[in-house]
Structure 1
Amino acid sequence: MENINALKPRPTTTIDKVPLFQKAAFGSGHLVNNLLPGALGVFSFFLITAYGIDPAIAGLLAAIPRFFDALSDPIMGFISDNTESRWGRRRPYIFAGAILSAILFIVQWQMFEENGSTYNFWYFLTFSILFIFANTIFSTPLIGFGYEMSSDTKERTRLMGIANSVGQVSWMIVPIFWVLIANKDLFDSQADGVRTLSMYVGFACLFFGILPAIFCKENDVSDADSKAKITFKELKNNIVILWNNIKNMTKNLPFMRLCGATFLVFNGFQMVASFSYFIIVFYMYKGSYEMAGTVPAIFSILGAFATAVLIIPIVSWLANKYGKRNAFIISTFISIIGYILKWWGFVVVDENTAVLFNDVVLQIGVVKFSLEMPIILLLPIPFMAFGLGGLFTLMMSMTADVCDLDELRNGLPRREGTFGAVYWWMVKIGQSIALALGGLVLSLVGFDAGKSVQAVETMNNLRIADIIIPSLTAGLAVWIMWNYSLNEERVSKIKKELQERRAERKMKLNK
């Protein structure tokens, strides 16, 4: 690792500090950014069981909108980077996008079984594509907004830490949707549950989604002369500019390292994300969904809770004490320990297994939620949480630093929106690949969800894959980041040079 003593603490100036209220408002946007895709993932399962859509067709309904998503993200990033308005270049899109996303999320789920699978297919596909565009209008400027809220490298980490902690609340809520939708005391049918819950999700996202646009302050250092003209007349020229911007990003080695490390850590985790559910049900509880109960949901909720409350603050402290690269390496190594500990955490449950909150049931109205949890299953959770908890807190902060390097090399306008779009585009593409490979691994180990009892060899192989895959990808990510060169001292020098360059530019314009 680099010389830690070289990373001397530099006080954050008042102008670089983001007030806590603004950090919380920005975090509320990240809550929406997590809640919408999380709810979409749960609700999409019921396209098959509640609306009778063929599984292969349901797969198309998930895949086709992603194609439009991949195309629209960089375009929206470019548009927001080059927008000139009295309200700023990000806030109008965040405000409008939050409203449109919320409305379209609700509308896309207002389907009825009696309309038939063909009608429901086209209805859902149409509104899914519209929802994807609306969500892009919201989320892409939001990500770019976060990169420009402070020019201080340490304050960026604090901002992203709070934003990701707030965002984790979504992953404490999403697993509960499974319990609510299937509750016959609440809803007449699963379809009724989906329709109703989509309204609650939509209205919550509308409220929290507009808060960054209202309360967060933009810090746009780009002047109008440096920005492309966003008109249909300039469409061809703008496409060329966007393409050149993306090519320049591929030459930005620190950014490519961030993208590569994120691709490996996140998608290694995603590839095996469903394995924990299958291992809990088919190994720990011997194929009994009834006995497993809410254990898989609580396992996920506790992971999100530990990430938000415990891990992200620790990672933020590590980053500002020892440097972001070092914090990433440390947190990723700790996550590998967590993956390995799953071998001892996932145990066959019998009468001798120590259970936390045995026979304790939380009841809210007519909803009953069992809190039973094998104590040993808690073992890997805080260690594993360092993986994603460290990843996005640090990578989003480091991407903001990369935007400084890009301005130094390529000038204005600042391209935070485009960087954010390209970064998350790679995440989304990787996620699609990871989900496909996860299914392939399940097939290779011989797993058959139609059987209540799986072969011992199958479950052992699945448990080994559940450990080796994310550990290997995390190790490769550490290797990629080992020579990451954009440390805190270099970022401080770039910041100073940019300030001098901007001052000179301002003087010339005022003459």
Structure 2
Amino acid sequence: MEAVPMQNSVAVAPADSELLSPRVRIGYSLGSLVTGAFGTVPGLLLLPYLTDTLGVSAGLAGLLVLAPKAWDVVANPLVGRVSDRTHTRWGARRPYLLGAGLTLAVLFVALFAAPFGPVPPGGSPVLAVSYVAVAFLLTATAFAFFQVPYVSMPAEMTDSAAERTRMMTWRVGLLATAILVSGAVAPWIVDTTGGGIVGHRLMGLFVAALMVIGTLCAFYGTATAPIGAVQASEPSLRAQLKVVAANRPFRVLVACFVVQATGVAAMLAGVQYFADHVLHDHGATPLLFLTVVSPALVVTPLWRRIGERLGKVRGYILASATLTAATLALVTAPLVPHFLVYAMIAVIGFGYAGQQLFGLALLPDCIAYDTARTGKRQAGVFTGVWTAGETLGLALGPGIFGQVLQLFGYVSSTTGVSAVQTSHAELGVLLGFTLVPAVIVGVALLFLRGFTTEVVPAAA
């Protein structure tokens, strides 16, 4: 078998002029309160909210989670193009952080407001489904206007690959914190406030508050950061996407990361179902989150050192393989003691932390590769495509999980408490939470064959 070329990504200490202040690193990274909350809570609670509170069938609920985010596949590159061409005294990106972040918080509250209530027995789900679909579409659009400029910023704040990795270490650590807080506390709020529609409304207010805090910290924390030179981009979106298509490292990386996001999102969508129908402990959802996310708070610096020693690509492969193996082992959950289940989930968290770190750390390298190759800095276009793909993956995951539930005969409820399921439906929950995401994450590694960001000199 032909050897797979690996990127030489051993960190070199950046010059002092390329170092960013702790305030900038931390302020920027606190924007993860926004991205982490939005990336976690709808993926965790929206599907069971639809099936077990609004009474929507699992198959339709899965499509409902998927369809509004499909718009972002178009919207995110357009947002990138718009932000590339924005000129203000605050720079090209920061105005969008403030406006979109605050708008997102308001729309998130609306998403779980349920003004039409649950679907009546034997009644039509049109009103409830239409409201959620429109609210989710608007929320996803606001998120695009926050995330695309936000992800674009590291490639413009410093030219040092080592400093970008250091920034991503901060960001992934705070992202893990945001996922931990939102993912553990949100379902706890729903349960302790009586569940159902009222519980979800109060949860929405809590998550919106996190988003407002993250928005203000990211906006004001990066006020003194270098904004970089956002050079004139290609004259049309079509021409810009041709540039993206010509960047092979980016194509390879985004394909891998998006497919893996699908697998991770399928598992995320199944957490509450796994607690209810495999562990038979509805209150286990927050603890499951604590177990999978807590390791990232400790091991992210370890993964960074592994990347410095082995290279980012080898680190990415190692982290993804760890995530895949532990998820596959979780198929044994009904047969082993609960403490072993939580141990396997902790290993999943260890692998997930590395997978996120190296994926995000390689993205600015791909953008820098394009700048070196073309002489143009178009970070917004690349991050627009990246976030569009990631958003699609995060939508496909719950969609796939919903179809698995439908296939195995999952029964919906309007009480706010999941209905009693058959053993066949419980098997569907188990496979959708373990085997399906393990296969998706593992197969995605095939995309990394031949990945390199080394610019080949033009022939004389």
What is the aligned residue count? 440
Q: Who is 1:133 aligned against? A: 141
- 1:222 and 2:229 are equivalent in the alignment: yes
Give the deviation of 1:57 after TM superposition: 6.9
Whether 1:263 and 2:258 are equivalent positions in the alignment is yes
Separation in 2 of the partners of 1:83 and 1:218?
17
Counterpart CA distance in 2 for 1:442 and 1:407 is 45
Contact 2:14 2:163 in 1 (8 A): yes
Query: Where do residues 487-506 of structure 1 align in structure 2 (5 Å cutoff)?
Result: 490=454
* Of 424-433 and 275-284, the range deviating more from structure 2: 275-284
RMSD of aligned C-alpha atoms? 3.5
Q: Note the C-alpha offset of 1:447.
A: 5.6
User: Which residue identity is paired with 2:202?
Assistant: T
Distance 1:208 1:220, change over 3 A: closer
Q: In structure 2, which of residues 91, 94, 111 is the aligned counterpart of residue 91 of structure 1?
A: 94
The change in CA–CA distance for 1:479 and 1:122 in structure 2 (over 3 A counts) is: closer
> How far apart, CA to CA, are the structure 2 residues paired with 1:468 and 1:263?
18
Q: 1:422 aligns with which of 372, 380, 385?
A: 385
Tell me what 1:252 maps to: 247
How is 1:192-211 mapped onto 2 (pairs within 5 angstroms)? Answer: 192-211=198-217
Distance 1:482 1:385, change over 3 A: farther
State the alpha-carbon separation in 1 of the partners of residues 262 and 448 from structure 2.
Answer: 16
Partners of 1:311 and 1:382 within 8 A in 2:
no
Displacement of 1:416? 1.3
Which string of whole-angstrom CA distances, capped at 9 and with x for unpartnered residues, describes residues 169-195 of structure 1? 232232432332233xx35x7322222
The residue aligned with 1:376 is: 340
1:68-467 equivalences under 5 Å are 68-113=71-116, 124-172=132-180, 173-183=182-192, 186=193, 190-216=196-222, 217-222=224-229, 226-227=231-232, 241-274=236-269, 278=273, 281-284=276-279, 289=280, 292-307=281-296, 309-344=297-332, 346-348=333-335, 353=337, 374-412=338-376, 414-442=377-405, 446=408, 448=410, 452-454=421-423, 459=427, 467=434
Alpha-carbon distance in structure 1 between the residues aligned to 2:47 and 2:277: 23
Structure-2 residue corresponding to 1:356 = none
Q: Secondary structure at the match of 2:12?
A: coil
Answer with 110-119 or 464-473: which moved more.
110-119
> In 2, Cα distance between the equivalents of 1:120 and 1:447?
22
* TM-score for the superposition, normalised by structure 1: 0.75
Deviation at 1:73, TM superposition (A): 0.9
Query: How do 1:24-103 residues align onto structure 2 when only pairs under 5 Å count?
Result: 24-41=26-43, 42-43=45-46, 45-46=48-49, 50=53, 62-103=65-106
Q: Which residue number corresponds to residue 484 of structure 1? A: 451
- Structure 1: gaps (5+ residues): 229-237, 354-373, 495-511
Structure 2 counterpart of 1:72, which letter? A
In 2, Cα distance between equivalents of 1:251 and 1:393: 25
Structure 1 residues 378-418: Cα deviation after superposition (integer angstroms, max 9, x where no partner): 32123222443222211221110111121223332x21121
SS of structure 2 residue aligned to 1:379:
helix
**1:503 is matched with which residue?**
none
Listed one character per residue, the Cα deviations across residues 98-123 of structure 1 (whole Å, up to 9, x for unaligned) are 12212232344445457997666665
Distance 2:285 2:437 in 1: 19
Question: 1:344-390: per-residue Cα shift (whole Å, max 9, x none)?
Answer: 5x2447xxx5xxxxxxxxxxxxxxxxxxxx32123212322244322
Deviation at 1:124, TM superposition (A): 4.8
Distance 1:124 1:329, change over 3 A: closer
CA–CA distance in structure 1, aligned partners of residues 6 and 136 of structure 2: 48
Return the structure number with greater relative CO, CA threshold 8 A, min gap 6.
2
- Counterpart residue type for residue 399 of structure 1: L
Q: CA, structure 1 residues 74+49, in 2 after alignment: closer, same or farther (shift >3 Å)?
A: same
Question: How does the TM-score come out when normalised to structure 2?
Answer: 0.82
Task: Please report how far the alpha carbon of residue 272 of structure 1 lies from its aligned counterpart in structure 2 after TM superposition.
Answer: 4.4
Give the Cα–Cα distance (whole angstroms) in 2 for the partners of residues 111 and 472 of structure 1: 35
Cα distance in 2 for residues equivalent to 1:283 and 1:419? 41
Per mean C-alpha deviation after superposition, the further-off stretch among 382-391 and 28-37 is 382-391
Is the 2:7–2:452 Cα contact (8 Å) retained in structure 1? no
1:76 Cα deviation after fit: 0.8
1:168–1:305 contact (8 Å) kept in structure 2: yes
- Contact 2:62 2:399 survives alignment (8 Å): no
Higher Cα Rg: structure 1 or 2?
A: 1
1:17-41 deviation digits (Å, cap 9, x = unpaired): 2222222211211121121243334
Partners of 2:106 and 2:208 within 8 A in 1: yes
Post-superposition Cα deviations, 1:287-336, rounded to whole Å, max 9, x if no partner, equal: xx4xx1322431222101112x1332221111122211111122222223
Judging changes above 3 Å, is the alpha-carbon distance between structure 1 residues 145 and 171 closer, same or farther for their aligned structure 2 residues? Answer: same
How far residue 258 of structure 1 moved from its aligned partner, in angstroms, is: 0.3
Q: Which amino acid aligns with 1:266?
A: A
CA gap of 1:22–1:392, structure 2 versus 1, over 3 A, is same
Distance 2:340 2:240 in 1: 50
Paired position in structure 2 for 1:366: none
The structure-2 alpha-carbon separation of the partners of 1:447 and 1:278, relative to structure 1 and needing over 3 Å to count, comes to farther
Change (3 A) 1:79 1:32: same
- Aligned mates of 1:17, 1:4 — CA distance in 2: 27
